[in-house]
A = this chain, B = another copy of it.
Amino acid sequence: MMTIEDGWTDGAGGVDRTPGNRSRDALRAAQMYYLQDLTMNAIARELRTSRSTVSRLLSMARETGLVQIQVNNPSDRAPALEQQISRRFGVEAHVVPVADSVNDSEVLDRVAIQAARTIGPLVDSNAIVGVAWGSTLSAVSHHLTRKQTHDSTIVQLNGAGNTQTTGITYASEILRRFGQAYGARVEQFPVPAFFDHAATKTAMWEERSVRRILDLQRRMTMAIFGVGSIGAGIPSHVYSGGYLDREDLETLETDEVVGDVATMFFRADGTHRDIVLNTRSTGPELDQLCTVRRRICVVSGESKINGLRGALAAGLATDLILDEGSARRLVHS
């Protein structure tokens, strides 16, 4: 007979309800399904359980990152669009195929899913990942697949408070999801998105609690953000959500701002000197952002194209994930 210790690598012996079985069975099932091409029925027989349980074990295996599915386009024959974008803008492009017939919210959803799956493999142990907030990142955060890492940290890139709410629940939900997916510590940045007075920012930036976050940001190994865009149809969250008053919006216009990344603004040519609002923004200095090894920009929807152009001109991203429609718009002009 087998002892319990033996039993725990064993699916064929007697039925064994030791706790922790589930994840072991999930691994066995995943191997049999994905590596041996058995049907769920056959697996159920070997595991002495029902087919439906196997189905559930497999979804669990996928969700917890036990199974990783990646689609590589052998770079030698990558789709033309991706190559063109790479050449022209010096970023690694991931174009999300989407027929132009689908509506904007579905495009966002699908870009978000694919972005989440693309980001997954890039998160290593000991990583310090900066994460912005906004509708794009919120969508992405809903689709992250888990991956076990050690000692990684998710750090908030910019404050999220505004004049109406502290914005904390919204932003912190995003962060929390990232942290949970990668088993990482989460470091929130409990400041408003914009200070009313630049002097307050200067003062706060001397506080040790704040410096701790800024220090983490300086040591980021990866940053993930969307872009905000001015000018085109729908304004982003930042431009309509109560973060900026009429006067602020006017100064943006005067400064010829076309968009922002993590509430730091820039112009169409990528410059950001002397944009007054940036002195009150809590986002990371763009020059400093550019020193981060991997900077992933997620964009969905053609309305963001102006902001995106500026961000690319500023060299803010090393990787760009965007829907096919926007990609085409980007290169065709």
Contacts and interface: CB of A to CB of B under 8 A. Distances in A.
Contact of A118 (B27, B30, B35, B72): B35
A68 interface: yes
A113 B37 contact: yes
Given A36-B113, A96-B36, A73 B118 contact: no
Interface in A28-43: 28, 30-32, 34-38
A186 to B, nearest CB: 21
Nearest to A110: B36
B24 A101 contact: no
Given A27-B71, A31-B71, A68-B72, A80 B36 contact: no
Nearest to A113: B36
A74 B35 contact: no
A106 to B, nearest CB: 10
A1 interface: no
A113 B66 CA distance: 19
Interface string A1-17: 00001101101100000
B37 A79 contact: no
A70 interface: yes
Contacts of A231: none
B66 A67 contact: no
Given A31-B97, A46-B99, A80-B8, A114 B73 contact: no
Interface in A169-187: none
A290 interface: no
A313 interface: no
Contacts of A46: 97-99, 101-102
Contacts of A101: 12, 46
Interface string A98-116: 1111100000001001100
A81 interface: yes
A36 B114 contact: yes
Contacts of A38: 110
3 nearest CB pairs, A to B: A12-B99, A46-B99, A35-B114
Given A31-B97, A36-B113, 10 more contacts: A11-B99, A12-B99, A12-B101, A30-B71, A35-B71, A46-B101, A61-B71, A66-B74, A74-B148, A76-B148
